[in-house]
Amino acid sequence: MSSVPAALQDMAAPDGVCFGCGSSHPEGLQLKSYWDEDGVHVVCRHTPDPKFHGWPGLVYGGLVAMLVDCHSNWTAMAYHYRAEGREPGSLPRIDCVTGKLNLTFIKPTPMGVELTLKARVEGEVGRKSRVICEVWAGDVLTVTADSIFVRVDAEQLKAQAHGRA
Amino acid sequence: MSSVPAALQDMAAPDGVCFGCGSSHPEGLQLKSYWDEDGVHVVCRHTPDPKFHGWPGLVYGGLVAMLVDCHSNWTAMAYHYRAEGREPGSLPRIDCVTGKLNLTFIKPTPMGVELTLKARVEGEVGRKSRVICEVWAGDVLTVTADSIFVRVDAEQLKAQAHGRA
């Protein structure tokens, strides 16, 4: 009997509503991220829905940005939990948001292929953490990303956006 | 009688299928970009569908990336047409793709507010053009972007992605 580990999203934020990675978003992408066996990378596999094309036969770069955004953020949060010696899902909950999202499109990403995102934190895990993410279409590297994720108090963030803080 | 100018997308690519900006994508965002009166900026207005939240009450950063990606690209293409003294829609068609997409998230973007994207080319309009884009939620600047768009032959691009070139 093999045991399949739960995704980070399902452990740490089963009530998440994010369009990209929220486990509770009924129409969202429901991205799932997992620690790789190497203990360095966090991996997400996703086959884009055909509606998310940019050109006929090619995945829309904006959809790739969504994948990279959420998966890189979950990579940052996974590293934070590990740095505190805690399992994802333990309290208090750790939340990060995107500070900078930087993508380099190396090659067009073909539609109809399962994509693999491999990400890791580069350098220190801190209030701001740098995450490197690669997007592979089979054995072809199509996109790289080098982004910053900021640890936050999620309630405070919402109040700020609506002019209450 | 006032005449409303057509959007760049409807003039130059009425058959476009991109999820973000394709005029012919039945389920897409159908973003529309227009030259601003100032002759410098290209403007796009969009109110995100409530399903595109990242946190409750906040617009998903991945959706903002989609808006910036398409609108910045259309800004590059608009500058190309103008540099050649041609109207969008004249032939041969000009196509650009995203080379680098770099977003800085300054403040959370509130849901339920019309967003205004203002973009312009910085420097030369060439094979690679740099586009600066701002995202405003009302009078609050929430995201800035500084990206690169590459002029391409769209058919060649597709062939390359599917291993035929």
Neighboring chain A residues of B62 at a CB cutoff of 8 Å: 19-20, 62, 65-67, 69-70
Neighboring chain A residues of B158 at a CB cutoff of 8 Å: 55-58, 108
Q: With H, G, I as helix, E, B as strand and everything else as coil, classify residue B146.
A: strand
How large is the average pLDDT for residues B56-75? Answer: 97
* pTM for the predicted model, two decimal places: 0.95
Measure the CA–CA gap between B165 and B153, rounded to whole angstroms.
12
- Residue B159: its pLDDT value, please? 73
Write the DSSP symbol of residue B110.
B
Measure the CA–CA gap between A115 and A117, rounded to whole angstroms.
7
> In this structure, which CATH number among 3.50.50.60, 3.40.50.300, 3.10.129.10, 3.30.390.30 belongs to the domain A34-161?
3.10.129.10
Residue with tokens 């906040």: B58
Cα distances (Å, whole numbers) of residue B153 to A22, A64, A137: 37, 21, 22
The per-residue pLDDT for range A45-61, each reduced to its tens digit, is: 999 999 999 999 999 99
Contact indicator for B98, B149 with CB cutoff of 8 Å: yes
Measured in angstroms, the CA of A3 and the nearest CA of chain B are apart by: 30
Residue with tokens 């900026």: B41
- Residue A118: its pLDDT value, please? 98
Measured in angstroms, the CA of B85 and the nearest CA of chain A are apart by: 26
73-102 in A: which are within 8 Å (CB) of B? Answer: 97-102
Instruction: Reply yes or no on whether the pLDDT at A122 is more than 80.
Output: yes
pLDDT band at residue B77 under the 50/70/90 scheme: very high
Measure the CA–CA gap between A33 and B73, rounded to whole angstroms.
30
Q: Which of A20, A55, A107 sits opposite B60 (nearest CB)?
A: A20
Instruction: Reply yes or no on whether the pLDDT at B2 is more than 80.
Output: no
Task: Name the residue in chain A with its Cα closest to that of B148.
Answer: A104
Instruction: Reply yes or no on whether the pLDDT at A141 is more than 90.
Output: yes
Give me the percent of chain B exceeding a pLDDT of 70.
95
Q: Residue B33 has which token pair?
A: 């970009």
How large is the average pLDDT for residues B68-91? Answer: 97
The per-residue pLDDT for range B129-140, each reduced to its tens digit, is: 999 999 999 999
Task: Name the residue in chain B with its Cα closest to that of A56.
Answer: B17
How large is the average pLDDT for residues B126-149? Answer: 98
Measure the CA–CA gap between B66 and A69, rounded to whole angstroms.
11
- Residue A155: its pLDDT value, please? 73
The per-residue pLDDT for range A33-48, each reduced to its tens digit, is: 999 999 999 999 999 9
SS3 per residue for chain A: CCCCCCCHHHHHCCCCCCCCCCCCCCCCCCCCEEECCCCCCEEEEECCCCCCEEECCEECHHHHHHHHHHHHHHHHHHHHHHHCCCCECECCCCEEEEEEEEEEECCCCECCCCEEEEEEEECCCCCEEEEEEEEEECCEEEEEEEEEEEEECHHHHHHHHCCCC
Neighboring chain A residues of B28 at a CB cutoff of 8 Å: 51
- Residue A134: its pLDDT value, please? 99
Measure the CA–CA gap between B70 and B48, rounded to whole angstroms.
15
Mean of all residue pLDDT scores within chain A: 94
- Residue B160: its pLDDT value, please? 72
Mean of all residue pLDDT scores within chain B: 94
- Residue B157: its pLDDT value, please? 72
How large is the average pLDDT for residues A83-104? Answer: 96
Contact indicator for B42, B21 with CB cutoff of 8 Å: no
Instruction: Reply yes or no on whether the pLDDT at B20 is more than 60.
Output: yes
